[in-house]
Amino acid sequence: MAPQLTQNTRPQGTLRHSFWTFIKAQLSAQIASLCDFLVTILLATIFGIFYLYATFIGSVIGGIVNCIINYRWVFHAGGCKKKYIAGKYLLVWIGSILLNTWGTFALTEWLTSQQWMQHLPAFCLDNVFLIIKGIVAVSVGFFWNYQLQRTFVYRKIF
């Protein structure tokens, strides 16, 4: 007869643990995205900074927030050396910033160059990048950030 696993002896790779980690990572991403979007909106709309630069700066702020939350709460990486986490996070983060910034820029420029977009009110046309930024952020967050953070950045180094 196989021994029963208790809550404390349950392997870390269980479906329940993976699901809970995913949910916490998504909450962390939402908090980071909120910071990212707030900075981007403030810089672009209030301070008049070009949306590409505002997107980049917002992504940097969001990345810092995300790293801190993920290290302490999502992946419980306290046993990992911070310098290794920082180095690996930096690699993933650079990719994330490039994907977010250039994805937002390329899609915004493409969409706003479409003839039918010219018929929209100026307010909509000037702020369409925020919708595109949201779509790009969700895609990058799931397909790039979460996958690489889970399997590469916060994996324990022994």
pLDDT for 22-77, tens place per residue?
899 999 999 998 999 999 999 999 999 998 899 889 988 998 999 899 988 898 87
What is the reported pLDDT for 57?
94
What is the reported pLDDT for 117?
79
Q: What's the mean per-residue pLDDT of the chain? A: 84
Q: Is the confidence at residue 7, as pLDDT, over 70?
A: no
What is the reported pLDDT for 104?
92
The answer to whether 37 and 133 have CB atoms below 8 angstroms apart is yes
Per-residue confidence at 158, pLDDT binned at 50, 70, 90?
very low
Per-residue confidence at 3, pLDDT binned at 50, 70, 90?
very low
Report, as an integer, the average pLDDT of 73-101.
87
Q: Is the confidence at residue 5, as pLDDT, over 60?
A: no
What is the reported pLDDT for 80?
77
What DSSP string runs through 22-52? HHHHHHHHHHHHHHHHHHHHIIIIIS---HH
Give the integer Cα–Cα distance in Å for 106 and 51: 12
Query: Half-sphere exposure of residue 131, counting CA atoms within 13 Å on the CB side?
Result: 10
Phi and psi of 45, rounded to 5°? -90, -35
Q: Is the confidence at residue 9, as pLDDT, over 60?
A: no
Model pTM above 0.75? no
Of the candidate ranges 1-10, 80-89, 102-111, the one whose mean pLDDT is the lowest: 1-10
